[in-house]
Amino acid sequence: MEMFYSLYGLRLEANVLVPGLTRLESDQDPNVRVWLGAMPSWLDDVAHVDPKILYASPDCDGDGRPLVKVQQVSDGNRAYFRLTYADGTAFLIDRVGTRIWSTWPDTLSLEDTAVYLLGPIIGFALRLRDVTCLHASAIAIGEESIALIGPGGAGKSTTAAALAHRGHAVLADDVVALNESGPAFLVQPGYPHIRLWPTSVEMLYRSYDALPPLTPNWDKRYLDLVETGYQFQRSPLPLAAMYVLGDRCTGPNAPVVEEMSAREALMTLVENTYVNYLLEPTMRGKEFAVLTRLVERIRIRRIRPHADPARLSQLCDVILEDSHALSAPCA
């Protein structure tokens, strides 16, 4: 049975209902096909061949296994990437990001696999298709969008959820895919979920039980933007500004917005591109050129949140006020 979805500007066809995605009717050919719960038959035929290891995570689980290992395999004609996670979940992706397969152990579920699929796997597929992706969240502000950038734990998703509560539509969480269109950069819609740690859920909604768990095996919860009456932006919007969530501080003026030099902004974007550990030299060169143009055209500012999480509302105020000031016409 054919299941069609739209995700980050891609048209996906899957063999099952994918948790987190909204099924669409489609009369267009998909540009990515996904088989969940299956691997191509030829993979068993090359099991005896020692695959080339391209990457092994420096972080390991309790048994010393890398959290993720990436190998190169071939069916005799084409090369593929095989990604194996420490929990036994495995993915196979062709080198042009058009076909994806996955299997998982009996102790896990389709929901667990979807967490990987909608994050690093589709992010890697986008990178293989020369789409620049940032580790960020994106929010609609009027007819434009802003991106919140930062490493894990910086507060991107929490701030995005707080802005969504104020009525702003969400374009993407965790992965922000950018398509260059003339002088503009368009943010592509992701999927209508925001993933949140229990501490963030408790801060936002007074109880971590206020939102359902992402899967029975993960600590994170998720905010369904459709079912809960929030807004999900389903069409691309031009990127107007980017806010780098910096170190938290306790100063009386916090949250505070700071200017960034072009060089600092560029290096920050390079550090916060998605799955950058899998980029080949040619891909890195293309990405650097795109990010250089991005810095030249888009205002990028650092914002330092207050160390007190109860001041999240003030952080939203500062972001909104600054973004409106940036978009206001000059007198």
Query: Is the predicted pLDDT of residue 14 greater than 60, yes or no?
Result: yes
C-alpha–C-alpha distance, residues 188 and 140, integer Å:
11
Using one digit for the tens of pLDDT, what is the confidence trace for 252-288? 888 989 999 999 999 999 999 988 888 888 888 999 9
Looking at domain 132-327, which of 3.30.160, 1.10.3470, 3.40.50, 1.20.950 is its CATH number? Answer: 3.40.50
Tokens of 60: 């390991």
**% the chain with pLDDT above 70:** 97
Residue with token string 């592509």: 188
Global confidence as pTM: 0.91
Task: pLDDT band for 1, please (50, 70, 90 cuts).
Answer: low
Domain with CATH 3.40.50 in the chain: 132-327
Helix, strand, or coil (residue 125): helix
C-alpha–C-alpha distance, residues 65 and 331, integer Å:
60
Task: pLDDT band for 176, please (50, 70, 90 cuts).
Answer: very high
Query: Which residue in 238, 237, 236, 204 sits closest to 221, CA to CA?
Result: 204
Residue with token string 């495995």: 90
Residue 192 is predicted with a pLDDT of 95
